[in-house]
Structure 1
Amino acid sequence: MVSTSQRRISPVFLGIAAVTAVSGWAVWTGFAERPGIAVFLFVTGAWVVSLCLHEYAHARTALHSGDLSVAAKGYLTLDPLKYTHALLSIVLPVLFVIMGGIGLPGGAVYIDRGRIHGRLRHSLISAAGPLTNVLFAIVCTAPFWLHALDGVPAPFRHALGFLALLQVTAAILNFVPVPGLDGYGVIEPWLSYRIRRQVEPFAPFGLIAVFGVLWIPEANAAFFDAVHGLLRALGVDEFTTYCGFDAYRFWRTADPVCSLPG
């Protein structure tokens, strides 16, 4: 039985959502004296909200699959401080965004896999997180593929495009079948016991390996070609995401090209 307090939305999450909403309003209306700061707060806030929803999806799916312990651990409250480590959950993902505009996975929730029966359930628990990023990306790009951009201010459009890029990169990277990432968690239940035991020691280094590969120029170019290809299919061009990233890094001199109308 899950108590009301165990599923009550955390004030921390509500505070982050409020900052996101207010800064988004400031970007839309041009209220902020320095729009770059508003863009930074809006995108960062929305990114952290998506991280919380990602982990919540894992926990909620686990709950309905038989693991009631996720409620006692506070995972159903959407509180990012309840995840494994604040540094890994929030700080590092935000730093990855600042450094390279990449939405890398953040926090993690511990699932008691022994309480869950059936390989399909285990796969669904792992897939639930990145599928949340897919849904978030669809929502962010909806004004673009619905051709509903009339009246949307350029700064907000750029910020939304950049946020969509983060969600697409997060979804793709999370689905990579590398130990330690959700993509491997999807296929792991279907592997033999021998293979799982051989791969298990590499799980803590999976994310580091992926990040290292992305530092290779050729791999990085191929990855972002795929990301931008998906975004173009959803109506978001590279100019929009570039200007969104440019505005996000408000401490740098803004590219005047992004200030041009159109």
Structure 2
Amino acid sequence: MTAPAARRDQRVSPVFLALVAIMGVSAWAVWKDAVASTGFAVFLFVVSGWIVSLCLHEYAHARVALHSGDLTIGAKGYLTLNPLRYTHPLLSIGLPLLFVVMGGIGLPGGAVFIERHRIQGRWKHSLISAAGPLTNVLFAVVLTAPFWLGWLDGAPLEFRAALAFLALLQVTAALLNSLPVPGLDGYGVIEPWLSSGVRRQAEPFAPFGLLAVFGLLWIPEVNVVFFDAVDAMLRALDVSEYETWYGLESFRFWPEQPSGPADWFPVH
């Protein structure tokens, strides 16, 4: 690959830059209460921020894969941070956004196609899979830094709540995607260390792993345990349950609230 082509393959997409701009402008609008409906500004901030996090998640997978030996990553457009490059617009972007809108669950949904046969070494394979959830963790730390650094004293409640809710989505995504379930990154971390027989047995379940996890969250007892863990992590970062709850309520600015996960979202 020539140097100019390599640079084009890694040039940041205008789509991603537009998302970052929307995130910044909507954050300013929430802070200044500059629009008639602050809830709509919160909605724009959270949705654009969530798509940005999906792009960064998949970019992390791709960047680590590139340095681990898969030199085809650049030509696939994965290093441009363009959300439309991450496999399927509906399954990778649309479906996760739907679950965010329905009730505040950060559903990992993007994907990059990595040519694993080009990569040698089990540790490299594990690190490629771990890079995505670690990016969500880092994004959560960045979003909550103003809380635990004391920078938000006197800040508008709506702004604090919007940051808190977006951070909650990052924590839920990191936790869900770290589970050792076929089809999720957590399983990808341990897969290289499993026997070939176990990998063959688990492979047919990979397309259904995420759906199975989400189905378990419909069980009230499992749901409570999961969100208790999420709340505990956010409290450790000085984010209160009230702020995440208010962020969800502000995010759902429409008059009629949809049924589904939003009805059992256990933040009080």
User: In the aligned structure 1, how far is the partner of 2:255 from the partner of 2:44?
Assistant: 16
Deviation at 1:148, TM superposition (A): 2.0
SS of residue paired to 2:97 = helix
Could you tell me which amino acid in structure 1 is paired with residue 210 of structure 2? L
Code of the aligned partner of 1:234: L
Is it true that 1:45 corresponds to 2:48 in the alignment?
yes
1:79 aligned partner, one-letter code: N
1:208 maps to 211
Matches within 5 A, 1:22-61: 22-61=25-64
Shift, 1:252, TM fit: 3.1
Alpha-carbon shift at residue 150 of structure 1 (Å): 1.7
Which residues of 2 match residues 159-238 of structure 1 at below 5 A?
A: 159-238=162-241
Q: CA deviation at 1:236?
A: 0.6
Deviations 1:10-29, CA, capped at 9 Å, x for gaps? 11111111111111110011
Q: Which residue number in structure 1 is paired with residue 21 of structure 2? A: 18
Q: Give the alignment partner of residue 121 of structure 1, picking from 121, 124, 148.
A: 124
Identify the match of residue 248 of structure 1 among 246, 251, 266.
251
Paired AA for residue 47 in structure 1: W
Match of 2:9 in 1: 6
Count residues in correspondence.
254
| 3-state SS of 2:73 partner | helix
Distance in 2 separating the partners of 1:151 and 1:33: 22
C-alpha separation between the residues in 1 aligned to 2:121 and 2:239?
A: 39
**Following superposition, which runs of at least 4 residues in structure 1 exceed 6 angstroms of deviation?**
none
Equivalent-residue separation in structure 1 for 2:191 and 2:149 (angstroms): 37
CA distance in 1: counterparts of 2:29 and 2:109, whole angstroms? 27
Q: CA RMSD in A?
A: 1.2
Q: Distance in 1 between matches of 2:19 and 2:255?
A: 25
Indicate whether 1:70 and 2:73 are aligned: yes
What whole-Å deviation, never above 9, does each CA across 1:111-142 have from its counterpart, x for those lacking one?
00000000000000000000000000001111
Q: Which amino acid aligns with 1:252?
A: P
1:3 counterpart SS class: helix
For residue 253 of structure 1, report the CA deviation from its aligned partner.
7.3
Residue identity opposite 1:37 in structure 2: F
1:153 aligns with 2:141: no
- Give the secondary structure class of the aligned counterpart of 1:69: coil
1:74-85 to 2 correspondences below 5 Å: 74-85=77-88
Deviations 1:146-198 (A, max 9, x none): 12222321110000000110000000001000000000000000000110011
When residues 56 and 137 of structure 1 are mapped into structure 2, their CA distance, relative to the original with a 3 A threshold, is same
1:132 correspondence with 2:128: no
Identity of aligned residues (%): 69
Instruction: State the AA in 1 paired with 2:124.
Output: R
Q: TM-score, normalised by structure 1?
A: 0.95
Q: When the two structures are superposed, what TM-score results if normalisation uses the length of structure 2?
A: 0.93
Distance in 2 (alpha carbons) for counterparts of 1:63 and 1:128: 12
Deviation at residue 251 of structure 1 after TM alignment: 0.3
C-alpha distance in structure 2 between counterparts of 1:151 and 1:71, whole Å = 45
Give the counterpart letter for 2:90 in structure 1.
L
- Alpha-carbon distance in structure 1 between the residues aligned to 2:162 and 2:230: 17
